[in-house]
Amino acid sequence: MAPPKTIIEKIEKLRETIREHDYRYYVLAEPIISDEEYDKLMRELIELEKQYPELITPDSPTQRVGGEPTKKFPVVTHKIPMLSLSNSYTEEDVKEFDRRVRSILKTSDYEYVCELKFDGVAVSLHYENGLLKVGATRGDGFQGDEITANIKTIRSIPLKISPADRNLLDIEVRGEVFIKKEDFLRMNEEREFSGEKLFVNPRNAAAGTLKLQDPKLVAERPLNFFAYYLRAEKSEIKTHFESLSILRKLKFPVNENIKLCKNVDEVIEFWSNWQYQRDKLPYDIDGIVVKVNSFRQQEILGAIAKSPRWAFAFKFSSRKAETKLNDIKLQVGRVGTITPVAYLQPVFLGGTTVSRASLYNEDYIKELDIRIGDTVIVEKGGDVIPKVTSVVKEKRPPHTSGFVFPKKCPECGAKIYRPEGEANYYCENNECPAQVKGRIIHWASRGAMDITGLGEAVVNQLVELKFIRNVADLYSLYKQRDKLVQLERWGEKSVQNLLDSIENSKQKPYHRVVFGLGIRHIGIGIAQILCSKYNNIDMLMNAKYDDLQSTYEIGPKIAESIVRYFSDSHNIKLINRLKEAGLKFEAESLANLPLSGKTFVLTGALESMTREEAKENIERLGGKVASSVSKNVDYLIVGEEPGSKLDKAKKLGIPLLNEAEFIKMIKVK
């Protein structure tokens, strides 16, 4: 039977609405509905598509994450090669580029469009009849990988375009896939936490992500996109500037920092401005791209070898500097990780003054033989945090000696240790103030409980003033509202906002709670795996080492960390307090079932089923069966010839169910 017209219309309307909200959220960054409202729309659509699978189309917002992992990406040949750009770092070279343009065009009547040069991964998107059909990497410029399933997970990229002009239904769009600096840092933090290898910079993270064979994993990564090229064979677009504005109209994300320049001096001005502003941007750029605006003139200019003569990459000057290493100090991270930090003679580097740089770990220092007093090279790569990359050995002062890693935590003085096979040292004191704060910050972070208003500064303040000592304390913070309001920088409204977002965190699903606990090596992905195998915290708590280790993706390091975590009575106490506070310690699917959270006791014999079958029915619907009556029991099921449990239940006022009532309860659901 064909689906009713009303359903078809409803589905299409939902899709349109979701598309519009995706656009507002991911492209314009101006959402107008809450996450909950959005999720509701999405659930409604998923539900309808489940009922009418024949109505699922590839451009439905539900189809962003789909398909099975691929073994190898198919090869795509680019009809128009994806050229690279000639580039330079000097004004002289840009002027030379401009002279050549003028001499070939034989006129000074031309314009340039200046854009930022995003430091990401170039991709090409093909739309046919308005639908995204193919997404490919640049590869060697002539052939790339077909990564359509991965591309579709990027929510700012439209799966469907609805141009007013029919000539724009078949187009190719090129642009850059990238990861924002703050997302990159968070990603690496999570990877460090779960013992995964860190990405070097946001570009590598984006490139590594697009190469993943499983689109589901890609969907979890914070990929973004900027479109900077449009080819529409049937349309008559005349300039690059116009094509950018068309891309915008088609709802692609187009970067706002674009300038139409009349001459090369304006180009140089744009470049030098961004040279100093680049650190203010939320993403990495490594220069600007200058393009001749008119397509006709682009054609006249043509291309040489691998790069066009109408475009030029004007890069920012190198971000290396030489300076003196004054000291090496240890920093204590969120889970007690000890990181050595270089304290430098301040040096100006790519728009900011740098006085600290990362030294990663003991081995890194040893490998480069970095010593206090050395003259070192500091680099600011794509990865925001400057790092010491080498030592100028000729400038080493006499009488220095190799750096000896301290034995004590700089925050609390406790011993530090380096587990076998790991690069990091850890502070062994669980109550180390740095760790106490770190655990709370982690709990409040976006990937975990997402408590807005509970950032690093607030946590430090609340811990130092002894309002909180652990994450469970957050849930009784409301009792101290009057005192909080009096604190410096706080007021009625901000306190209320904080308490509200703490309250909201109780709605976060089980796996995020488990992630939030901050068990070493348990990143969000592993938390998800654990929670789907161990449906509630008691199961997880009681899981044996061997059973854990036999789980997909879980090796000895993680299994050991879990067992160690749950064998510490402080942690059990903490979990019990969180349970009491009402956090979710049960898998969503179970928690949503009709009988979840309900405990039943059986007495006497049932006619239609055995006790075992009754138990199965209850558990299937998410309920639990207890063997004796207590005040925690929700229902007593009373069969033939009941025992003393009936009297006890009556005394405690526990609701009774006869067999018919019980059957009704499990049938309806």
Nearer to ligand IVH, 308 or 406 (CB): 308
Binder of ligand IVH out of 117, 387, 512, 624 (CB under 6 A): 117
Question: Near ligand IVH by CB under 6 A, which window of 78-86, 159-167, 203-211, 322-330?
Answer: 78-86
> Which residue lies nearer to ligand IVH by CB, 85 or 342?
85
CA distances to 189, 228, 294, 527 from 129, in Å: 42, 21, 27, 41
Of 121 and 187, CB closest to ligand IVH: 121
Question: Whole-number minimum distance, CB 233 to ligand IVH, in Å?
Answer: 17
Q: Does 84 bind ligand IVH (CB under 6 A)?
A: yes
Residue 512 CA to residue 528 CA, distance in Å, equals 8
Using the contact rule CB under 6 A, the part of the chain among 54-62, 113-121, 481-489, 574-582 near ligand IVH is 113-121
Alpha carbon of 208 to those of 202, 204, 444: distances in Å? 10, 6, 28
**In the complex with ligand IVH, which residue's Cβ is closer, 88 or 452?**
88
| CA 274/CA 288 separation, integer angstroms | 8
Q: Smallest gap, in angstroms, from Cβ of residue 133 to ligand IVH? A: 21
Task: Give the nearer residue to ligand IVH in terms of CB position, either 176 or 473.
Answer: 176
Tokens for 257, please give them. Answer: 């920092």
Q: Which of 31, 308, 351, 509 binds ligand IVH (CB under 6 A)?
A: 308
Region of residue 351 (left: phi > 0; alpha: psi -120 to 50; beta: else):
left
- Which residues, 6 or more positions from 485, have their beta carbon under 8 angstroms from its beta carbon? 491, 492, 495
DSSP annotation of 411: T
The CB density around residue 249, as the number of other CB atoms within 10 Å, is 14
Enumerate residues 192-251 that contact ligand IVH by CB under 6 A. Answer: 228-229
CB environment 16-48: b (16+ within 10 A), e (fewer): ebbbebbbebbbeeeeeeeeeebeebeeebeeb
For ligand IVH, which residue of 22, 49, 145, 176 counts as binding (CB under 6 A)? 176
Q: d(Cα 357, Cα 390) in Å, to the nearest integer?
A: 12
Shortest gap between Cβ of 412 and ligand IVH (angstroms)?
46
Residue 138 in the binding site for ligand IVH (CB under 6 A): yes
Q: How far is 124 from 229, CA to CA, in rounded Å?
A: 9
Instruction: Specify the residue, 176 or 659, whose C-beta has the smaller distance to ligand IVH.
Output: 176
Q: Which of residues 309-348 bind ligand IVH (CB under 6 A)?
A: 311, 313
- Closest contact distance (angstroms) between CB of 382 and ligand IVH is 13
Measured from the CB of residue 11, what is the shortest distance to ligand IVH in angstroms? 37
Provide the token pair at 124. Answer: 């090409």
Question: How near is the Cβ of 350 to ligand IVH at its closest, in Å?
Answer: 18
What whole-number distance in Å separates Cα of residue 500 and Cα of residue 389? Answer: 45
Determine, following the binding rule CB under 6 A, whether residue 23 of this chain makes contact with ligand IVH: no
Specify the residue, 308 or 433, whose C-beta has the smaller distance to ligand IVH.
308
CB nearer to ligand IVH: pick between 261 and 625:
261
Distance of alpha carbon 440 from alpha carbon 473, whole angstroms: 10
The span of 50-58, 110-118, 635-643, 660-668 binding ligand IVH (CB under 6 A) equals: 110-118
Stretch that binds ligand IVH, among 14-22, 25-33, 307-315, 452-460 (CB under 6 A): 307-315
For strand 635-638 and strand 599-603, is the pairing parallel, antiparallel, or unpaired? Answer: parallel
Which residue stretch of 115-123, 383-391, 513-521, 659-667 sits at the interface with ligand IVH (rule: CB under 6 A)?
115-123
Q: Confirm or reject binding of residue 83 to ligand IVH (CB under 6 A).
A: yes
Among the options 95, 117, 238, 408, which is catalytic? Answer: 117
- 76 binds ligand IVH, rule: CB under 6 A: no
Instruction: Using the minimum distance from each CB to ligand IVH, give the nearer residue, 80 or 626.
Output: 80
Near ligand IVH in 365-404, by CB under 6 A: none
- Residues 247-306, interacting with ligand IVH (CB under 6 A): 289
Among 94, 122, 161, 388, binds ligand IVH (CB under 6 A): 122
- The answer to whether the beta carbons of residues 591 and 618 sit under 8 Å apart is no
Size of the site for ligand IVH (CB under 6 A): 15
Question: For the CA atoms of 68, 73, 78, 79, what is the dihedral angle to 10 degrees?
Answer: -60
Nearest approach in angstroms of CB 75 to ligand IVH is 18
Q: Among 22, 49, 115, 170, which residue sits at the site for ligand IVH (rule: CB under 6 A)?
A: 115
Cα dihedral angle (139, 141, 144, 147), rounded to 10 degrees? Answer: 80
* Residue spans of alpha helices (H) in 390-523: 433-444, 456-464, 481-486, 492-504, 510-516
Known catalytic residue at 117: yes
The gap from C-alpha 598 to its chain's centroid, in whole angstroms, comes to: 35
Is residue 552 within 8 A of residue 546, CB to CB? The reply is: no
Interface with ligand IVH (CB under 6 A), residue from 11, 18, 76, 85: 85
Residue nearest to ligand IVH (CB): 122
CA distances for 460 relative to 334, 446, 449, 469, 665, angstroms = 12, 18, 18, 11, 50
What minimum distance in Å lies between the beta carbon of 184 and ligand IVH? 17
Q: How many CA atoms lie within 13 A of 116 on its CB side?
A: 23
CA distance 477 to 522: 27
Cβ proximity to ligand IVH: between 49 and 286 the closer is 286
Binding footprint of ligand IVH on the chain (CB under 6 A): 83-85, 115, 117-118, 122, 138, 176, 228-229, 289, 308, 311, 313
Which positions are catalytic?
Answer: 117
